[in-house]
Structure formats: C-alpha cells, structure tokens
Chain A
C-alpha cells in the first residue's frame, strides 16, 4: 500500500487513474492524440494533394462534399486543417516546451539565489521582453534563411521572460516557507532543492502558464507564416490570416474553421494541463475553503 512499493509502471497506472477522474482531461487528451495521429497519417486518410488548387471550386461553402468548405484556391478545408495540424502541433509543442523549460530554469535560479544572479537574470528577461518578435525573426530569416527550426527557437527564446517572472515569484514565496531552510540544514544539494522541492511545488503555475502560452505560440507562428518567413504554406495560422481579406465576400468558413481548430487545440491543451495538475496534487481530495471556515474546522 505504501508508495514506495509501486514500480514505475505501478506509479504510471496510479497517475492515470487520478488523471482519468476528470472527463474533460481525458477528452482533451483524446482530442490531441487523435489530431496528432490524423496529422501524421494524413496522407493515408486523404488521397488528395492538399496544395493543389482547383479554381472552379473557389470558396464553396460547407456542404456534404466539402465538410469545411473550400478556400479561395478551391482547396478542401478539412484536408487543409488536418495537414495544417502538423506545423501547428509541432511548433506548439517544441516552442512551448522551450519557453517553458527556459523560463522555469531561469525563474527558479533567480528566485533561489537572489542578489546579483537574480538581478542579472531579470534584467536579461526585461531585455528579451522589449525585443519585438517579428522584427527579430525577419532578421534571423534574412541572415540564416527560413527554417522551421529557427522559427521554433525564436518563439521559444522570446517567450520565456513571462514564465521566468511567474516561476521566480512562486519560488520566492516558497523560499519563505521553512521546509526549504530545513533542507539546507539537512545538507541537501542545490540541485535537490531546486528540482525535488521548489519546482514540484510550482507545477500548478508552470502547467497553467504553459498551456496558456500554446495559443499564443500558434498565433505567433501564424504571423510568421503570413510574412512568408517559414517554408510552409499550410498552417492554421496562415489560413486564418489570409482569410481576413475575404470577409467582405462573406466567406465566413475561411476564418471559422482554422479559428475553431486553434481554439479547440488550445482548449484541449488546457484541459490536459488542468487534468495533470489535479492528478499530481496531493491535496486533490480537499477543496479550498474560506479562511473563516478553515478557522472553524481546524487550525
């Protein structure tokens, strides 16, 4: 019954059980996995070249033949959306992970060490905050050519400061709690304190902010697509951006479906991270109650 008796597989099972308690969390996960699989195997699902224009079918509204309608080049939007999931998901994951990891590490180091290190990290973060993403991308692309990898790198590199701030603030408030001091008294190494005590207690903030930054990442990538800075021509962001000029013609489905795709994906990411948060929270059984009631129930 004790935790330590469980092997790795046992622990994973326990985590899954806790995770699966939330229907929305499971739904989110299913959605993302489904989307990823569909995107990966799009070629087998659809036997059409997504990029092939068919001007005869210019802007056909959603119908039985074309569930999501067609775009201004006559391409089926459903196919485009599924193919477009690829770059969106890849970028969302990698750039999101990059900014999350960078932001978390710098934030916790700044919070733990304080003093000069804190000052240095935070001023660097400030500098990054002032760098406008798009001009930077243009610069990099001009110097090194359009490249998906570069794009991901840049989005990750410019997105970390906000996460760093959040993690730093959380770290500072955790440091005030005595258990961190006791760890030092017991001889814990800095690495242990950071990774086994400070960061695990901040999973809430980290997960929440990461999931909130996913749609931002997708949309940033959209802007880059629009400027032709990436080697891709199909992505949700791109579809969304080009659709704006067609509003006047009343072709609402050009914006609606890519927008819906971004929205659903962001929501799915949010559900997943929320589910993870709940599953990893040892206090999951108890709800938060007001202060007065806490006084009434126990100290």
Chain B
C-alpha cells in the first residue's frame, strides 16, 4: 500500500475523490429534480404529492444499503482484523444515518396529504425507525470508545447483531399490524409504473447510490487523515 510512504497525502487523495463523486451525485440530484418535475406525468390520484417518491424511495435504498454493509463489514472485520474495514463501517453508518433521516423526513411529508396523517405504525415505517435508532446507538458507542482496536471490535459486534435484528423486528411489527387490521392504507403499490416514472426512479436510485459512494469515500478519507494525524502527534500509541 502506498499509504506507508505518506498516509496524509493518500488520505487527501481519497477525500478529493469522495468530494468529486459527491459533487457528481449532487449534479445528478439536480437532474432528478428536473426529471421528476418536468418529465414524469402527474399521478392521477395523488397529484403532485407523489413526486416525493423519486427522493423517498432512493433514499431508503441507500440507507438500507449502508446498514447492510455495516453489518457485513463488521463480520468481515472480526475475521480479517483489517482496520480499513472498520473505517468503512464507521463511514457507512454515518452516511446511512443521514440517508435514513432523509427517508424519515420525506416520508411524513408525503404521508400527510395522502394517508391523512404524519405518522402511522405501519410495518415498514416502524422497521426503518428502529434501524435509525440502532445506528444512532452504534455511532454513540463508537464516540464513547477511544482505543481504535477496541472501538473496531465492539462496533463490529453491534453491527452484526443489528443485521440479525432486522428480520426479527420486521417479522414482529408485521405480525403486530396484520393481527390488528387498521383502516386501509392507500399506498401506491403500483406493480406497473408508467415508463417515465420508472426511468426517473432508476436515475434517482443511481444518483443516490453515487451520493452514498461519494459520501462514504470522503468520510473514509477523513477518518484516515484523522488517524494519521493522531499517529504523528503521539507515535508511541500506534
């Protein structure tokens, strides 16, 4: 690895690459807005409110991607003990929390005009809320631990346990809801979207994935820079 020669410049490179990717993602986001507002047809029953779909669903996709990767890299870390995996998990968890915040804010804004309520204890809603809490807890634990190796091990364990918790929460909130039938929720399950909508959704998903990669790369580079700075200041610790 070239990092041994000059870790700081290497971190700089990674940060710059991450920022470039994020900038491309943000430009893509502008495209998504234009597509959503101009290109896609207005949905017959929901009207303009449905446009939020093009942000909400891709944000949810990125959040789920982020959280699954935290669990998987956690498991890999316990096996391979590679600090790069830990840095990636931490970056991914932070970005995942951001995307789930987007998802949890756009959700109620969409739900209010369509379902008539900001919040309902729908199974999927509850699941994502708990995912959010789970990873806020994960980050809180990371912040409270100072020894890098210890922090990596413990947060890897939380990531793995969290990954296995998801099916249980899903199953229990699903059983909970279906056993207590609620007023019918008008959700567009839309098996066949009009092609314009589908294309816009796909573009948006690609853009959000790009944003995810960009943010994680930048965050990874920042963590690397912070580590090498610490190492420079007190070399005997490493």
Q: Do A and B bind each other?
A: no
Q: Residues of B at under 8 Å CB distance from A?
A: none
